[in-house]
Structure 1
Amino acid sequence: MTASVFTCLWRQLLPFLIVLGLALPAAAQEFLDPLVAFKPEAKALDDKTVEVRYSIAKGYYLYRDKFKFAAEGATVGTPVFPAGKKKHDDNFGDVEVYYKEVAIRLPLETAQSGPVSLKVTAQGCADAGVCYPPQEQQLSVTLPAPGSVSAAPAAAEGDALGDESGHIAGLLKNAGFWLAVSSFFGFGLLLALTPCVFPMIPILSGIIVGQGHHVSRSKSFLLSLAYVLGMAVTYAALGVVAGLTGTLLSAALQNPWVLGGFAGVFVVLSFSMFGFYELQLPSFLQSKLSEEASHLHGGHLAAVFAMGALSAVIVGPCVAAPLAGALLYIGQTGDAVLGGVALFAMALGMGVPLLLVGFSANTLLPKSGPWMEAVKQAFGVILLGTALWLVAPVLPAALVMAGWALLLIVPAVYMHALDPLPPRASGWQRFWKGIGIVMLLAGAALVVGLAAGSRDPLQPLKALAGSPSGGSAVAAAPAVPFTRVKSVADLDARVQAAGKPVMLDFYADWCVSCKEMERFTFSDAKVQAKLAGFTLLQADVTANSADDKALLQRFNLFGPPGIIFFDAKGKEIPGLRVVGFQDAPTFLQVLQRAAPGT
């Protein structure tokens, strides 16, 4: 069975692989147009400094001493070049050249802020032997008003950037192809059990269980593989689009209607697990598909592939450091091939637990009988929990807590938590009754905590925790007093008026890692004491509006969570960006570096 599936897939993929194999050598023998081989772009670092960055194609280089710069209505100072690579050139002798990328800083003297037209000239060659004449291009850059906020000068350079996403972008720039790809597979393994991936396990498990007790190990593994490939292809495609456009599509889909619709799919699936109905197509379509599926054992593969793709978009929109690093690399270099392959490898690493689920399903699941029905019902409850988890960010906290209480109490009743055991109860009956009692107690704790004013499902009784004398309740850790910023202009004004270090936090209601930072990091007493020395700003990008996108793009971020630090003069502190979740001890070290004297 398995061999026939792989044979069919191989026959479909083989023509594409042959075409790709023939195309690559042919493409390698053609020289690029100079406008493609050397791509310049310019951005303002502040009101008196512009950075001109050249992205250089693989196998090509630019001469350091051939650059020329001029500006209309402004005077260009002495350019600041980074160190290049020494090279013996047949045309110019011993020279200094740049491969892959070069960023040059230009001091500008101008009477006013606003748009400036730059004329940049560069000359380069290909390692294969052809040299190009000097290439002159016009660039436009807008100088900010004096004193406005900008990203750190080194923020786009992976080698100089101290934060993790910058180092990862540097890995892609400087490492070999296979080293970069294998490293991202390792990053995926590290991300495999994060809150962004873990919810996919019950989704896939529910799909496998829904196949019934006839599912074999090979079929369950193929279902898992189809799901993981759907997830991986989607991560790679959306990552490339995000890197080239600067917008994370999955963030745009995190709205109540989309989340509610996807949660509704899981509710429908869960009810079918409970036996309320059978999900099937009309008979005439079913017979046709059954006839086609007989040629390919495992006719549900395409549907499972699509579910994996949807899960990647809806369930896992978090921006962790490896993803941010890959998106940063793609955006800076335009190398969508390496960036996309790296993201594909990362998604495969994230899918390893899912493949293990598929491989072990045949061993772990009961073969037949009433146990199978019980397991299906258990996964129905898990799918309901997944649906609630999806919409939790857009629902009131009290409603979410009540939902978790119901998901614990109702199954506990069905597990006979309130019924006496029969006289000759088996060990399994006693075990399931014990599980039901635990679930019932947990659900009751949620109900009591909800009535007492608690809104944290993980700590429902915290509001009832009394003082040692039994007096008043202990107040929860106070929320961090962030001031919301609505636009880039609002941010500029507040940072310049602060007069002390500033922390800018990017947040969204749907961001799981943002919630983790609130619950486990910002609530820490030592962290809150250290934050007292900062002006605390927060950009809520839940709505993904034009202003939200502008704030993210200002700092080359693709989505939350992200934390930026500014010094007392309003300049970003290089190397201190926080992308993804950080625990309290690690974050304390970052705060100490951002403001050593506080």
Structure 2
Amino acid sequence: MKYVAGIRRLGRIFGFTLAGLWLSLSAAASAQPTPLPPEQAFRARLVQTGERTLEARFEVAPGHYLYRDRFAFTPADQSLRLQIDRPPGQTKNDPSFGQVETYPHPVTILLTAKRPLPQELSIALQYQGCAEAGICYPAQTVSLRPGESTPAGRPVSLLDTLGPPPAGEMPPPPARHGWFAGSLPATLGIFFVAGLGLAFTACMYPLIPIVSGIVLRGAKHGQRRALGLTFVYVQGMALTYTAGGLLAAASGAFLAVTLQQPWVIAGFSLFFVAMALAMFGIFSLQLPNAWQSRINSWANRLPGGRFVSVFVMGTLSALIVGPCIAPPLAAALAYLGQSGDLLLGGSALYALALGMGTPLMIIGILGSAALPRLSHRRLHGIRIVFGMILLGMAAWIARPLWLHRSPVPGLDFRPVASSAELDRALQSARGKPVLLDFYADWCTSCLEFEKNTLTDPGIQKKLGGFVLLRADITANTPEHRALLRRFGLYGPPALRFFDRDGRPFGETVIGAPDVTEFGRLVEQAKFQTLR
């Protein structure tokens, strides 16, 4: 019954997470007239406190906050591994992303190296935050040496460190929600329970003959050796999945950028739908029989009872089982890719594999009689639970397709990507008033403004005589930053009105005004242009 309780707990974890994501669509953001530039809103300092320890100290200006899960620390020496210890943050109901952890106050993050720190040390600090006014800053990165602080190192966009951006940046939603926002041991415990859940699915049953045929052949020397062999066998599986977790976490920044592309979002969503259908038993997902037979034949030729051969067989077993457990495994890799934490990525997949291998170790010692007599109905129920979770994840993954990318019904915004394009658009719009909207996919207040204000019929009627322009700065290119500087802005959302001659008038509107306030601003703009 412990197993059933574990599955129920895992279901609640994913259920609460998905519920939080869907409930995050309704909230409001406030407005503030004069936001600070990011280098003034957030100041970073790197201090070495010991032979192997560093502290990254961040000052946060009043009215601003940093996201707890948007920190990354990358040494210039790629061989140097750092363990990151983030203190608990304050829970905040984000307008578009639900419950998140933030630091609205100074925070110190402990960095611990596994070996003495080199004398020549430089670390790239990545972080992202917002202003309570509703302004979302692009992700910042700065390279510091111990003892240095910003603005000595000039913060730049995270995308600048990745080269030309493919499509856009993926800031929050945070990688860790709910249970995943806790400590590393708690997260590993959740992955271990998930592994136990996978262990009792039909996917793992083909491994039982392998365990019996290889491990038990060398277990004639006693139970202790049997335990050692089964442990080595499970390590072969576990380390294979660990490598996958490390690769997912190491590619975190690139993965975060790539996943914003519509075709990638759609592909992943359809993938999860297909995997859910596989869980429901509509079709079977496994290696071709010829491949499985070849691997099993090789396994039978391996000498049983030897640690090296048993370890190799564990690695091969991971390949046999991999396609069958692809749905939950892909979900775990997607989560780890967003975290960007190598320690978390490797250890979480290791814990998952240990959970999968624990029943196999028991079977290896006690024999197949130790296998729980789960009915077909119960096994089918387990697959249904995982299938429902995957359908929920498919819906969440596809959410940006209709939240971020869909045009506002009734309004036709013309895109402008640079100052030159804006000038040409203003020239062609002579004789009509113009509204310029600064927007980004990662800007929570921009989404709120679209959803709650621009869709209002009264607002759309008032905007009928305007030429509508939109500067989508999601990719945060040099041209985008130059356009922001032209109007003294540091990020979206922001609005600028132009008269019939293409001249700006009034003040730049910073933040996301509600229907009443925005309607008043539009009426004022109309009055100004008619004078």
> What interval of TM-score do these two structures reach, taking the shorter chain for normalisation?
0.3 to 0.5
- TM-score, normalised to structure 1, is 0.34
* TM-score, scaled to structure 2: 0.38
Which structure has more RCO (C-alpha within 8 Å, separation ≥ 6)?
2
